[in-house]
Amino acid sequence: MAKSESSQSGGTQQLLAILTGRPCPDCPDGKLERARYKDNQAVVCDCCGTPRAQVWSASLE
């Protein structure tokens, strides 16, 4: 893995970690949790299922 890919991965993990556990801005009872959304790493509401952040992997094809 190239150095830039490694640092991007670390930034992605940090972003998702920062959002995890925060209240959902769309519903009063939801909390954000790590999950997969459309095959991407994401943070989604555990109540309404709304994705708040998702990370796409770069395709080299």
pTM: 0.73
Low-confidence ranges of the chain (pLDDT < 50): 1-6
The H or E element that residue 14 is part of is helix 3-19
Straight-line distance from the first to the last Cα atom of the chain, in angstroms, rounded to the nearest whole number: 16
d(CA 22, CA 3): 30
Residue with tokens 């770069």: 58
Using alpha carbons, select from 6, 45, 30, 26 the residue that is nearest to residue 54.
Answer: 45
Residue ranges per structural domain of the chain: 3-55
**pLDDT number for residue 13:** 84
Find the farthest-apart pair of alpha carbons in the chain and give their distance in angstroms, rounded: 42
| Residue in the structure block whose two tokens are 């959304």 | 37
What pLDDT is recorded for position 22? 96
